[in-house]
Structure 1
Amino acid sequence: MKHLNSILVAALLLIGVGVANAQDENNPWAIEIGVNAVDVYPVGIDDKGRLPASTKGELFDEYFNLNDHWNILPSVSKLSISRYIGSGFVFSAVGTINRIEKLGDVRTGGQVGPFSGGELSYYSADGEIEYSFRDLINGPGGWFDPTLGVGGGYTWVDDIGFGTANGIAGVRIWLAENFAVSLQSTYKYAFEDSYGIQHFQHSAGVTFQFGGKDTDGDGIYDNEDECPETPGLPEFNGCPDTDGDGIEDRNDACPNTPGLAEFNGCPDTDGDGIPDPQDACPTVAGLPALNGCPDADGDGITDAEDECPNEAGPAANNGCPWPDRDGDGVLDKDDQCPDVPGTVANDGCPEVTVEIIEQLNEYSKTILFDYDKATIRQESYSALQSIADIMKEYPNSTFHIEGHTDSRGSDAYNMDLSKRRASSVMTYLTTIGIPANRLTSEGYGEERPVATNNTAAGRQQNRRVEISLDKDN
Structure 2
Amino acid sequence: MKHLSRFLVASLLVLGLSTVNAQDENNPWAFSIEFNAVDTFPVGTEDVGRTPIQTKANFLQEFFNVNDHWNIIPVVSKVSVGRYVGSGLTLTASGSVNRINKIGDFRVEDLSYYAADGRISYSFKDVIGGPGGWLDPVIGVGGGYTWVDDIGFGTMNFGAGLRFWLSEQFGINVESTYKHAFEDVYGIRHFQHSAGVIFTFGGKDTDGDGIYDKDDECPETPGLPEFNGCPDSDGDGIEDRNDACPDVAGAAEFNGCPDTDGDGIADPDDACPTVAGLKSLGGCPDADGDGIKDSDDNCPNEAGPAANNGCPWPDSDGDGVLDKDDNCPDVAGTVANDGCPEVTVEVINTLNEYSKTILFDTGKSTIRQESYATLQNIVDIMKEYPTTTFVIEGHTDSVGRETTNQKLSEERAASVKSYLTTIGMEGSRLISVGYGESRPIASNNTRVGRQENRRVEISLQK
Fold-level similarity (TM above 0.5): no
| Range into which the TM-score falls when normalised by the shorter chain | 0.3 to 0.5
TM-score of the superposition, structure 1-length normalised? Answer: 0.40
TM-score of the superposition, structure 2-length normalised? Answer: 0.41
Indicate the structure (1 or 2) with the bigger Cα radius of gyration.
1
